């Protein structure tokens, strides 16, 4: 694995803080109705992305996820101003404002969504991995899903074929404990989600996903296995989300005290403490980073506010009509 150094921790802190503040800003503008529809925020789960980005080959490897998908493309290099503009429904967004919150997409940065159907991205991730193997490109596909999505039958179909074909894919369950609002304990007889891989003799393990180093170590091993031709891995990344499933979630299924307990092991504060303890930076340096992050978020908001909405014709330009489509009867 690439060595974790002083610069790694400083990058992790600045990136995770930016992702957190970016999502906080989206929550604010959602209340102002500048962002419409559903909005699913990543607060608390940042260590997963930080660890993953550290060990990925950004030239080859791909990422696909569900609808909690704003900060992943940013981590992979997409301009955050364009991501915010997409949530605003503006023409300068990643999909000209037509995708919105749940459908950020950037194949040029190896990010393949952003999928609104629960578990819909699981077989697609395996399909991307099949393409990598078929064309001998050498890439590995990180397929992210929530703990709620493991109840989808397509997961088991995909695990079976991925293992049978030794596809270069890593299944990463972002297990925040509650799916949409039902705890893992209430939803399944098997609380240890990682054990689902055992039925397919797939390498699998639980991971402390509140610490980016632990995520990086587990994913590095899984990516190496996949790239070597030994097939997939199934990882149970144990994390926690501080906000509700979406902005419309009243969160009656958990107590404020529980959230506060998890905030004591916040991944951003964890990295910050390491930086200060090891004297990688001073308190003043941290304040400078926080100031940079705040200004960067302001730039994103300003860009989204000032961008134009797409022309109505754009909606029709992305829908095509095939004149000789064989299953529609033509008028006599």
Percent of the chain with pLDDT over 70: 98
Task: Give the pLDDT score at 215.
Answer: 98
CA atoms of 290 and 17, how far apart (whole Å): 7
CA atoms of 132 and 137, how far apart (whole Å): 5
Residue 7: count other Cβ atoms within 10 Å of its Cβ.
9
298 CB-near residues (< 8 Å, 6+ apart) = none
pLDDT tens, position by position, 313-322: 888 887 777 7
Q: Across residues 179-204, what is the average pLDDT?
A: 93
Task: Give the pLDDT score at 332.
Answer: 45
For residue 63, the surrounding DSSP H or E stretch is: strand 62-64
End-to-end CA distance of the chain: 67
pLDDT above 60: residue 221: yes
pLDDT tens, position by position, 66-120: 999 999 999 999 999 999 999 999 999 999 999 999 999 999 999 999 999 999 9
pLDDT: is 184 or 308 the higher one? 308
pTM, full prediction: 0.94
pLDDT above 70: residue 329: no
Cα-trace Rg, the chain = 20
Sign of CA dihedral 140, 146, 150, 155: negative
The pLDDT-based confidence of 51 (bands split at 50, 70, 90) is very high
109 CB-near residues (< 8 Å, 6+ apart) = 73, 76, 77, 78
255 CB-near residues (< 8 Å, 6+ apart) = none
Q: Is 320 strand, coil or helix?
A: coil
User: In the sheet where 233-238 sits, what is the strand order?
Assistant: 62-64, 141-146, 169-175, 233-238, 204-208
CA atoms of 206 and 83, how far apart (whole Å): 31
């Amino acid at each position: 694995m690439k060595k974790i150094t002083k610069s790694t921790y400083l990058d992790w802190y600045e990136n995770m803080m930016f992702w957190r503040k970016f999502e906080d800003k989206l929550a604010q503008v959602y209340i102002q109705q500048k962002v419409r529809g559903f909005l699913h925020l990543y607060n608390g789960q940042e260590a997963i992305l930080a660890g993953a980005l550290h060990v990925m080959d950004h030239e080859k490897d791909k990422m696909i996820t569900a609808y909690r998908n704003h900060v992943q493309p940013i981590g992979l290099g997409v301009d955050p101003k364009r991501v915010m503009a997409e949530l605003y429904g503006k023409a300068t967004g990643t999909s000209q404002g037509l995708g919105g919150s749940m459908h950020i997409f950037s194949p040029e940065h190896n990010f393949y969504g952003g999928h609104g159907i629960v578990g819909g991205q699981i077989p697609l991730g395996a399909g991307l991995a099949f393409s990598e193997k078929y064309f001998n490109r050498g890439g590995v596909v990180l397929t992210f899903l929530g703990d709620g999505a493991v109840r989808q039958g397509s997961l088991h179909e995909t695990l079976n074929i991925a293992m049978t074909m030794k596809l270069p894919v890593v299944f990463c369950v972002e297990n925040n404990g509650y799916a949409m609002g039902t705890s893992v304990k209430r939803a399944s007889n098997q609380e240890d989600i990682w054990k689902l891989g055992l039925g397919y003799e797939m390498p699998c393990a639980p991971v402390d996903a509140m610490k980016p180093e632990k995520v990086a170590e587990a994913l590095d091993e899984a990516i190496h296995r996949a790239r070597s031709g030994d097939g997939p891995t199934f990882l149970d990344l144990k994390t926690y989300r501080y906000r509700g499933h979406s902005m419309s979630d009243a969160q009656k299924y958990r107590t404020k005290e529980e959230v506060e307990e998890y905030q004591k092991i916040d991944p951003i504060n964890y990295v910050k403490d390491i930086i200060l303890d090891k004297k990688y930076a001073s308190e003043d340096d941290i304040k400078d980073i926080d100031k940079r992050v705040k200004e960067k978020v302001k730039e994103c908001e300003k860009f989204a506010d000032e961008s134009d909405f797409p022309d109505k014709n754009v909606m029709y330009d992305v829908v095509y009509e095939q004149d000789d489509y064989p299953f529609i009867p033509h008028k006599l």
